[in-house]
A and B are shown apart, each in its own frame.
Chain A
Amino acid sequence: MATKGFVISRLPGFNPIAGLVFAGLYLPIIILVIYSFNAGRSVASWEGFSLQWYTVAWENDAVKAATVRSLYLAASAAVISTFLATLAALGTTRRKAFGGQTFIYVMINQPLMVPEVVSAVALLIFFAMIKQATGYAGMGYLIAAHSAFCIPFAYLPIRARLEGMDMTLETAASDLYASTWQAFRFVTLPLLLPGIFAGMMLAFVTSLDDVVITVFVKSAGQDTLPTYMLGQIRRQVTAEINAISTVLLALTVLLLTLFVLLTRKKD
């Protein structure tokens, strides 16, 4: 192992800050997990250990359906937006500036600049027209809306990765008579993967968190976890949501472990 790289890459004070950041990120999560085992009704005062909220959540069909719907929606939106964003990033980087490049850039980032409620109202009106014209009121609208506002979240990390990525490798590949596709598949894509991965993660969590647009776009029977929870705020938020979040977290950690184990085997 190149221990030299380690010493050299150490900048004073960086590791403690990173440590604090991780601690800060996880503190609220730990609290939310602890309160999922609360015997009391509240998410804010501890009244003893109990598994009741897991039972409650499990027996609540509305919550279960909302959870599955949220995950399905986030996964679809992440895949679609990352695919589109990757193409667009390849199209807008590492080539001579061309007419309209800035225009494309602004277009792609537009969803970031519009307050959610504005897009929400615009989409409400626009989609309602289509809903009435076609009679279709399925999940397609939510998927389309989420995919669109996730594009910049996927695009920016991919672009950041592409920019300044060494072009010599690709040139070398073409010199060796690799087709454009081959050069992309075997040279560019592997180098680009971390960016694509980061982009997809961002898109996924962004979609998972969205409240306002979903509220306005959803049709009958299309509540997601956040919209379900928004409805609870005025009344009382129960630890039921903590229980679901904890289960989702556990699933994530499980998937992560599997992922790590699998990739290790490949090596």
Chain B
Amino acid sequence: MSPAEQAEITRSARNGWLLSAPALVVLTLAAIGPLAIVVAYSFMPAGEYGNVAWGFSLEAWQGILFTKDIFDGSLAWADANLTIFWRSVKLSVLTTVFAFIVGFPTAWFIATRPPKARAMWLFLITIPFWTNLLIRTFAITEIIRKEGLLNTILLKLHIISQPFEMIYTDMAVFIGMTYVYLPLMVLPLFASLDRFDMRLLEAAYDLYANPWQVLRRVIMPIVKPGIIAGSILVFVPSLGAYVTPRLLGGGKNMMIGNFIELQFGQGRNWPLGASLSVMLLIIVTGALLVYVRYANRETRNGH
């Protein structure tokens, strides 16, 4: 490598850091830095009425996997915690996959409108989200509740004879989360589809590719960054979702977000809440790193 090239690379890296610096500063002050407090809390004993007591304790970390049986003091698998973790992951994956299945055609639809109309369709996607999340969730309740719109229509049309018991189930939470997070899938997908060169399709069809092949071999590789961005934007917030499971799930089955909230609230076990959060953080960061690495390698190979 020539010195000039070397200098060029150094300059590029320096600019990269400089451009990212303002965002990093704000994030450090108002998002990431304070998390150090949470990490510290996970190693402290719980205070009597919430908060923490000064000292060092590993109880909170032990509490993630094992519970001391409250009655006989024996250590056992914390299957309640694991069940809650598992339900959250399952529902979040389902939400992400479904949001992609319906979000991709929607993004495609928008990207193939004439340029002038695209802005309008984009607006149409985001307009529902100018209303408050809570009130939107109430509106969903109105549709899927026992005597709600959906059941009334289905009953009137004699498609079903018994009303669906949908509200207060995992199904309701899944529907609610898909609704809430869908734009987070559509917008990045659109952003990457928007610069898709339609002539590539022409070329593919000229080579007698069928629509499925076109989708898989031509479109997918190009919109991959959008898919990655979209699935992260949907998956991670779903995993920590709080409002939707609380309102649509009827509060009978917690997700991890509600479980952590419980520890900081009525449960008065801040250290456990902290250790659960750090754990969640580690899992998600790990999964994300693997996902991004894997996705990047695929893209590079494709070139």
**Contact residues of A with B, CB < 8 Å?**
1, 4-6, 8-15, 17-18, 20-22, 24-29, 31-32, 35, 43-44, 80, 84-85, 87-88, 90-92, 95-96, 98-102, 104-119, 121-123, 125-127, 144-145, 147-149, 151-153, 155-161, 163-165, 191, 194-195, 197-198, 201-202, 205, 208-209, 211-212, 225-226, 229-230, 233, 237, 241-242, 245, 248-249, 252-253, 256, 259-260, 263-264, 267
Within 8 A of A (CB), among B243-273: 243, 256-257, 260-261, 264, 270, 273
Contacts A98-B12, A118-B277 given: A144-B30 contact, CB under 8 Å? yes
**Given A44-B145, A163-B192, A198-B187, 16 more contacts at CB 8 Å?**
A17-B102, A91-B17, A91-B18, A104-B17, A114-B35, A115-B257, A122-B34, A125-B34, A144-B30, A156-B229, A159-B225, A194-B194, A202-B183, A208-B132, A211-B243, A260-B119
Choose the segment among B56-64, B66-74, B77-85, B195-203 that binds chain A (4+ C-beta atoms closer than 8 Å).
B195-203
CB distance from A32 to the nearest CB of B (A): 4
Q: Beyond A96-B9, A126-B37, A233-B134, is A161–B149 a contact (Cβ under 8 Å)?
A: no
Bound Cα distance from A253 to B260, whole angstroms: 38
Q: Which of B27, B132, B229, B284 contacts A245 (CB 8 A)?
A: B132
CB contact under 8 A between A106 and B288, given known A25-B182, A115-B277, A126-B33: yes
Residues from 2 to 30 in B contacting A, C-beta threshold 8 Å: 9, 12-13, 15-20, 22-24, 26-30
A29 — which chain B residues lie within 8 A by C-beta?
A: 127-128, 131, 136, 139
Complex contact B229–A28 (CB within 8 A): no
The 4 lowest CB-CB distance pairs between A and B, nearest first, are A91-B19, A98-B13, A28-B139, A115-B240
Selected from B108, B192, B214, B274, the residue in CB contact (under 8 A) with A118 is B274
Q: Is B211 an interface residue (CB 8 A)?
A: yes
B285 contact set on A, CB distance < 8 A: 106, 113
**What's the least CB distance linking A80 to chain B, in Å?**
8
Partner of A148 from the list B26, B187, B194, B225 (CB cut-off 8 Å) is B26
19 contacts between A and B (CB under 8 A): A9-B201, A11-B108, A13-B105, A17-B106, A22-B124, A25-B125, A28-B139, A32-B136, A96-B13, A105-B292, A113-B236, A113-B281, A118-B277, A123-B34, A145-B30, A198-B187, A201-B126, A211-B134, A245-B135
* Known contacts A27-B143, A144-B30; A8 and B191 CB within 8 A of each other: no
B37: which A residues are within 8 A, CB to CB? 122, 125-126
* Residue in A32, A121, A226 whose CB lies within 8 Å of B38: A121
Majority-rule SS of A interface residues: helix
Select one of A84, A127, A230 contacting B22, CB under 8 A.
A84
B260–A115 contact, CB under 8 A? yes
Smallest Cβ-Cβ distance to A26: which chain B residue: B128
Q: Answer whether residue B165 sits at the interface, using C-beta atoms and an 8 A cutoff.
A: no
Asked if residues B143 and A87 are in contact (CB atoms below 8 Å), the reply is no
Residue of A nearest to B25 (CB): A84
Q: Are A28 and B179 in contact (CB under 8 A)?
A: yes
Q: Which residues of B contact A (CB under 8 A)?
A: 9, 12-13, 15-20, 22-24, 26-35, 37-38, 102-103, 105-106, 108-110, 112, 114, 116, 119-120, 122-136, 138-143, 145, 149, 179, 182-184, 187-188, 190-192, 194-195, 198, 201-202, 205, 211, 214-215, 222, 225-226, 228-229, 232-233, 236-237, 239-240, 242-243, 256-257, 260-261, 264, 270, 273-274, 277, 280-281, 284-285, 288-289, 292
Q: Are A5 and B105 in contact (CB under 8 A)?
A: no
Contacting pair B134 A149 (CB below 8 A):
no
A109 to B103, CA, bound (A): 22
Chain A: minimal CB distance from B257 (Å): 5
Instruction: Decide: B232 and A112 in contact? CB cutoff 8 A.
Output: yes
Majority secondary structure, B binding face: helix
Q: A31-B143, A126-B33, A201-B122 are in contact. Are A160 and B205 (CB under 8 A)?
A: no
Contact A115 B280 (CB under 8 A): yes
Task: Report Cα–Cα, A112/B31, bound state, in Å.
Answer: 10
**Interchain CB contact under 8 A, B273 and A118:** yes
A22 and B237 CA atoms in complex are apart in Å by 22
Contact of B20 among A6, A104, A125 (CB under 8 A): A104
- Name, among A18, A229, A267, the residue most crowded by chain B CB atoms within 10 Å (CB to CB): A18
CB < 8 Å neighbour of A115 from B23, B123, B242, B270: B242
Chain A residues within an 8 Å CB radius of B20: 87-88, 91-92, 104, 108
